[in-house]
Chain A
Amino acid sequence: MEILIALLIGVLFSVSTYLILTKSLFRVVLGTVLMSHGAHLLILTMGGLGVGSAPLLGEGASSYTDPLPQALILTAIVISFGMTALLLVMTYRTYKVHQTDDLDKLRGRLDE
């Protein structure tokens, strides 16, 4: 199953990179969202999939899945959520100020 998920992660990274390379600022933000999904799945996959039950001790199971990647991902989800929110609002402000989301037009002056 890990190999399949690794391939899926590859797909997510490919799509998000493609989005980031387009010239629409909005799509760049979408790309970052997809990329964070890919990264979270990657952390989980690298911790190993499918052995044991959920890491809740009350269950009394004989083996549990690895709790540490889950804790790491939880932190990462929240942080990437904060980032996404900020990026979105920045995109919104950029629209407001420059009336465009075309990164080519947002390029600024040549002598910068």
Chain B
Amino acid sequence: MSALHIAIIVPFLFALVIPLLYNKVPKIHTGWFVLILPTILFGYLLSFIPTISSGETVVKQFAWVPSLGINFDVHLDGLALLFGLLITGIGALVVLYSVFYLTKKGEALHNFYFYLLMFMGAMLGVVLSGNLMVLYVFWELTSLSSSLLIGYWHHREKSRYGAQKSMLITVTGGFAMLAGFSLLYVMTGSFTITEIIGQADVVASSALFIPAMLLILMGAFTKSAQFPFHIWLPDAMEAPTPVSAYLHSATMVKMGIYLVARVSPIFSGAPEWFWIVSGVGLFTLFWGSFNAVRQTDLKSILAYSTISQLGMIMSMLGVGSAAAYYGYEGGYTAATIAAIFHLINHSTFKGSLFMVAGIVDHETGTRDIRKLGGLMTFMPITFTIAIIGAFSMAGVYPFNGFLSKEMFLESMVHALHITDFNMQTFGMLFPVIAWVASVFTFIYSMILVFKTFTGKYQADKLDKKPHEAPIGMLLPPIVLASLVVLFGFFPNILSHSIIEPAVQAIYPTSLTGIDHFDIHIYAWHGFDSPALWMTISIIAVGLILYLTLSKWQKIYQFLRLHKKDPINYIYDGILDKLVSGSAKVTNLQMTGLLRDYFVYMNIFLIGLAFYTLYHFDSFGVDTTNVAPIPLYVWIIVGVVAAAAIAVPFINNRVASIISVGFVGFLVSLFYVLFRAPDLALTQLLVETVTTALFLLCFYHLPELRKEKFKPTFKWINVIISVGVGAMVTTMALSAMSFGNKKPFEAISQYFIDNAHDLAGGDNVVNIILVDFRGMDTMLEILVLGIAALGVVTLIKLRMNGKEDV
């Protein structure tokens, strides 16, 4: 176990101490203790940058279940390091922010930080594990802790709804992903990611390639809120804002991106991968940005914006996968570089915007943009941060969002050069959707800033008088906004240290020797760059549309999108149908009537028996060994049958008891005829006692209703009972003929030969009962004893004054 393993485990261990700290040190906000951990981890991970950027990969092994190939291996490459830094870095800022956001009084801080640390550890586990099964375990832990955090204010119904929704959707995806991982194991015999990548050609030629790809993408799409699984993200906004900032913008929702990037070396190059990843990404980009414009809640805007931006990153990863098909010189790697760069940028500006939304909420009491306005003068610092974040998101110079948006547009235009994958037919959609979505992105970014901070200040609609937030609360968004500006002006500080190793992890087989990707991010591409003109037109059209917003916003009502995302109707419908449908099925089948269950059992039994006989062609009547039938047997059989058949038709209880007793006595006559004296004796005795019992039982029920039986006749019952009889007879006859075909020695000859010599008795049946097979008899006595006790208890039992059952 190495230090990296400990880095993953330490948040979990620390989480255990949290309740203790919360209770023992109530004077200090628990968040201050928590803050130490991500800061140290961030520093620790930073120390890996020189190693990783030189192209090395840190691998530490730790056996967990080696017999199943499941090992807790840590695999730190560029991609893992990038995510690790995001998780710990933004984690530290979020914890600092939450110290000021959540008050000591009235908040269950120990729960909050427990879940948060659990989440942090799980996230580190996901990105650092080199084994798919371990990755899956941590993946589900992030789903679990995320749901706990969304439902943090569990007294609110909406929080519980959001938590349940995110849990159901992400866990569904998680299960699909597990199935995909299992298929990969079937194909390659390994759970280790590097080993599977090494066998990528085996996977590509396998028939399971497409199912495994779809299942794993299902996991990635649900986690990263891609269409149509995006619906959980807007509802997850019921979580406290630090949680939204951390989980639902910067880290957890990027797990799907991480997974797609991580398994890219296995799947990319296939047209299906290209189309699904980039197609779903582009549509999500459009859908998210289109829906963000109609939102009136700050966090809802940000949620749809996150969906849209995640779609954008996803589409870039999809386009970048063409490089695996065309080779790495074709320029498609630029899309992947853009994806990684935008991933970093998005974390910085979206994190800061969420914190801004939280500050606005905290200082005014609302997040509704219809109530907000004119806050600029009250909160100048927050306004500045919001401007930086929103302009970066909109893709305006000089912020980092501008650079990655340029690269995005450029790679979408470059995707037109792809000549395979049916791109001639649909390729034009790529830049068109990208352009349209960017226009909407611009509009909602403007809404976000200007509807909140400029315009008329509506004092009457706000609960409290707004003022600037405390410095501790402002510090984290300031740090993030500074990064936005820093990466905007000096993007190349990241390119060699972080982005290049990450891209290298996505294209592990592309580089040979000391070769490396030449990544240079420029703000200026020259007048011949299509991206420049696209950006200019986006800003121009976006501005016009923003200024005329009230005129065309009716389109959402026209499209019936103004209430909620239509996918929600499908989700709620499915949930309702599942509940009501299973209730229906249960009510249909669980009637509570003993008779119905007997009907099911017997129908199943008859079906199974006849099907088996038919399937193995085992019907048969064999007359070779049968004994001749004397006349008196015919008579007795006829009488027994008549007596038995009469029982259901008798309307009188005593008469039916006598009829059943009659059958019993005649059965003992059979035992006489078939030379079983002991049986005949016992049967006579037992039958007498049973009949006496029946009559006694009947006699001792004076308060019984006087009415006679009025048995109702039902055809279904007749059919089933005749079926059971036919089944027993058929099976008996078939068994006999089968026994004649394959005869084998009966064991009874041994008993007959040895009863006298070994056991010293002449009555073979009795010798078997008490000597050869005495154990049966002992237990049978036990059965009788228990029955007797039961009888006595039932008769004597009186629950006085209590429940008399």
Residues of chain A touching chain B, judged by Cβ–Cβ distance below 8 Å, are 1-24, 26-28, 30, 33-34, 37-38, 40-42, 44-46, 48-58, 64-68, 70-71, 73-75, 77-79, 81-86, 88-93, 95-97, 99-100, 103-104, 107-108, 110, 112
CA gap between A103 and B712 in the complex, in Å: 13
Given A8-B640, A10-B725, A13-B728, residue A70 in contact with residue B765 (CB < 8 A): yes
Q: Can you list 13 A-B contacts (CB < 8 A)?
A: A3-B621, A9-B732, A14-B726, A34-B644, A40-B667, A44-B670, A44-B679, A64-B752, A68-B751, A73-B676, A77-B683, A85-B787, A89-B790
- Please tell me if B514 contacts chain A, counting CB pairs below 8 Å: no
Q: A17-B724, A57-B764 are in contact. Are A34 and B647 (CB under 8 A)?
A: yes
- New contact pairs (9) apart from A11-B725, A19-B648, A30-B656, CB-CB < 8 Å: A5-B637, A15-B645, A57-B755, A70-B676, A71-B768, A88-B693, A93-B795, A95-B704, A103-B594
Distance A27 CA – B748 CA, assembled complex (angstroms): 38
A57 to chain B, nearest CB (A): 4
B-side contacts of A84, CB under 8 Å: 690, 693
Known: A56-B763, A104-B593. A9 touches B787 (CB 8 A): no
Return A32 CB to nearest CB of chain B, in Å: 10
With most chain A CB atoms within 10 A of its CB, the pick from B657, B660, B722 is B660
In the complex formed, the residue of A with least CB distance to B722 is A14
Least Cβ–Cβ distance between B62 and chain A, in angstroms: 50
Which residues on B sit within 8 Å (CB–CB) of A44?
A: 670-671, 674, 676, 679
B667 touches A2 (CB 8 A): no
A10 CA to B640 CA, complexed, in Å: 12
A18, A54, A83, A108 pick with most chain B CB within 10 angstroms: A18
Are B805's CB and A97's CB within 8 A? yes
A10 pairs with B729, CB closer than 8 A: yes
* B532 at interface by CB-CB < 8 Å: no
Q: Please, how many angstroms separate the alpha-carbon atoms of A17 and B804 in the complex?
A: 31
A65 to B722, CA, bound (A): 32
Q: Is the CB of A57 within 8 A of B756?
A: yes
Please determine whether A92 and B697 come into contact, CB atoms closer than 8 angstroms: yes
A2 to B747, CA, bound (A): 21
CA distance A90 to B704 in the complex (A): 15
Q: How far apart are the CA atoms of A67 and B756 in the complex, in Å? A: 14
Query: Is the Cβ of A22 less than 8 Å from the Cβ of B660?
Result: no
Q: Mark B131-155, 1 if CB is under 8 A from A, else 0.
A: 0000000000000000000000000
Q: How far is the CA of A6 from the CA of B622 in the complex (A)?
A: 12
Instruction: Please report which residues of chain B, range 706-762, place their CB below 8 angstroms from some CB of chain A when the two chains form the complex.
Output: 709, 711-712, 714, 717-718, 720-722, 724-729, 732-733, 735-736, 746-748, 751-752, 755-756, 762
A17 CA / B677 CA spacing, docked (Å): 29
A21:B720 contact, CB within 8 angstroms? yes
Contact with A along B456-478 (1 / 0, CB 8 A): 00000000000000000000000
Q: Is the CB of A66 within 8 A of B746?
A: yes
Chain A residues contacting B765 (CB-CB under 8 Å) are: 55, 67, 70-71, 74
Q: B623 within 8 Å of A by Cβ?
A: yes
CB distance from B690 to the nearest CB of A (A): 6
Q: Is the CB of B787 within 8 A of A18?
A: no
A12 to B154, CA, bound (A): 62
List residues 757-778 of chain B with CB under 8 A from any CB of chain A. 762-765, 768-769, 773, 776-777
Instruction: Give the shortest distance, in Å, between A70 (CB) and chain B (any CB).
Output: 5
- Alpha-carbon distance A46/B718, docked complex (angstroms): 27
Distance between Cα atoms of A7 and B420 in the complex (Å): 74
Give CA–CA (A108, B686) in the complex, Å.
34
Distance A83 CA – B746 CA, assembled complex (angstroms) = 31
Please give me the residue from chain A that is nearest to B736 by CB atom. Answer: A2
Interface residues on B, range: 35 or more
A34 CB to nearest chain B CB (Å): 6
Given known A-B contacts A53-B675, A56-B677, A2 and B795 have beta carbons under 8 A apart: no
**Are B675's CB and A21's CB within 8 A?**
no
- Known A45-B732, A71-B765, A85-B693: A21·B595 in contact at CB below 8 Å: yes
B625 at the binding interface (Cβ < 8 Å): yes
Q: How far is the CA of A112 from the CA of B657 in the complex (A)?
A: 34
Chain B residues with CB under 8 Å of A68's CB are 746-748, 751, 768
Is A1's CB under 8 angstroms from B629's CB?
A: yes
Docked-complex contact B804 and A67, CB < 8 angstroms: no
User: Please, which residues of chain A bring their CB within 8 A of the CB of B627?
Assistant: 1-2, 49-51
Provide the residues of chain A in CB contact with B375, threshold 8 Å: none
Q: Among B670, B717, B776, B783, which residue has its beta carbon within 8 angstroms of that of A82?
A: B783
List of B residues within 8 angstroms of A55 by Cβ: 675, 752, 763-765
Interface centre among B667, B735, B747, B751 (most CB of A within 10 A): B667
- Minimum CB–CB distance from A111 to chain B (whole Å) comes to 10
Q: Which of B637, B641, B718, B752 contacts A57 (CB 8 A)?
A: B752
Do A67 and B748 have beta carbons less than 8 Å apart?
yes
Report the minimum CB–CB distance from B261 to chain A (whole Å): 51
Known contacts A34-B663, A64-B752, A67-B752, A73 near B679 by CB under 8 Å: yes
Q: With the chains together, A111 CA to B700 CA distance in Å? A: 34
Distance in angstroms from B479 CB to nearest chain A CB is 57
A78 and B764 within 8 A (CB) = no
Q: How far is the CA of A78 from the CA of B637 in the complex (A)?
A: 24
B486 CB-CB contact with A under 8 Å = no
B801, chain A: closest CB distance, angstroms: 14
Cα(A90)–Cα(B670), bound, Å: 31
**What's the nearest-Cβ distance from chain A to residue B787, in Å?**
3
What is the CB-to-nearest-CB distance from B582 to chain A, in angstroms, rounded to a whole number? 15
